[in-house]
Amino acid sequence: LLDLSSRLAGVFQNLGVKRGDRVALYLPTGLEAALSLLALARIGAVHVALPVGLGPEALRERLLQSQVRLLVAADGYFRRGQLIPLRPVVEAALSGLDLPVLWHTRGTTEFLERASEGKPADAVPVPAQQPLFILHTSGSTGRPKGVVHGHGGYMVGVSWALRYLFDLKPGEIFHTTADLFWVVGHSFGLYAPLFLGGTSLLVEDRPDHPNPAAFYERLRRFGVDVLLTSPTVLRTLRRHGEARPTSLRLVGSVGEALAPEVWRWTWENLAWPLDNWWQTELGAPALATPLTLPAKPGFVGIPLPGVEARVVDGEGQVLPPGAKGHLVLLRAGPAHMVDLLGGESPWRGGLYWTGDLATWDEEGYFRILGRSEEVIKVGEARLGTAEVEAAALTHPQVAEAAAIGIPGEEGEEIVVFAVPKKEVPEELKALLAEKIKAHLLRHLGPVPPPRIVFVERLPRTRSGKILRRLLKAELLGVDPGDVSALEEEYGGGKTS
DSSP string, 335-373: T--SEEESS--SEETTEEEEEEEEEE-TTS-EEEEEEGG
For residues 250 and 188, what is the distance between their CA atoms, to the nearest angstrom? 14
For residues 422 and 429, what is the distance between their CA atoms, to the nearest angstrom? 12
What's residue 450's pLDDT? 93
Give the 3-state secondary structure of residue 233. helix
210 prior amide bond cis, ω within 30:
yes
For residues 122 and 377, what is the distance between their CA atoms, to the nearest angstrom? 58
Give the side-chain half-sphere CA count within 13 A for 200: 28
CB 469 within 8 A of CB 432: no
Closest CA to 284 of 188, 140, 145: 188
Q: Count of CB atoms within 10 A of residue 49's CB?
A: 25
CB 78 within 8 A of CB 50: no
For residues 222 and 213, what is the distance between their CA atoms, to the nearest angstrom? 14
Closest CA to 204 of 59, 51, 8, 73: 51
Q: 167 exposed, middle or buried (CB, 10 Å; 0-12, 13-18, 19+)? A: middle
Give the side-chain half-sphere CA count within 13 A for 129: 2
Closest CA to 207 of 192, 227, 183, 191: 227
DSSP letter at 151 equals S
Instruction: Give the domains, in start order, of the chain with CATH numbers.
Output: 2-126 (3.40.50.980), 171-332+357-372 (3.40.50.12780), 375-476 (3.30.300.30)
What's residue 143's pLDDT? 67
Altogether, the residues listed in the chain come to a count of 496
**β strands within 333-481, DSSP E:** 339-341, 347-348, 351-360, 366-371, 376-378, 381-383, 398-408, 411-420, 451-454
Residues in Cβ contact with 194 at an 8 Å cutoff, skipping those fewer than 6 apart? 1, 38, 200
Question: φ and ψ at 303, to 5 degrees?
Answer: -65, 135
Terminal-to-terminal C-alpha distance of the chain: 52
For residues 231 and 80, what is the distance between their CA atoms, to the nearest angstrom? 20
Sign of the torsion formed by the C-alpha atoms of 477, 483, 487 and 489:
positive
CB 223 within 8 A of CB 173: yes
- Partners of residue 394 on adjacent β-strands: none
DSSP letter at 193 equals H
Sign of the torsion formed by the C-alpha atoms of 240, 245, 247 and 248:
positive
Local confidence pLDDT in tens for the 496 residues of the chain: 999 999 999 999 999 999 999 999 999 999 999 999 999 999 999 999 999 988 899 899 899 989 999 999 999 999 889 999 999 999 999 999 999 999 999 999 999 999 999 999 999 999 999 999 999 886 555 567 899 999 999 999 999 999 999 999 999 999 999 999 999 999 999 999 999 999 999 999 989 889 999 999 999 999 999 999 999 899 989 988 888 989 999 999 998 889 999 999 999 999 999 999 999 999 999 999 999 999 999 999 999 999 999 999 999 999 999 999 999 999 999 999 999 998 889 999 999 999 999 999 999 999 999 888 888 988 767 888 999 999 999 999 999 999 999 987 767 899 999 999 999 999 999 999 999 999 999 988 888 889 999 999 999 887 778 899 999 999 998 988 777 778 766 655 555 5
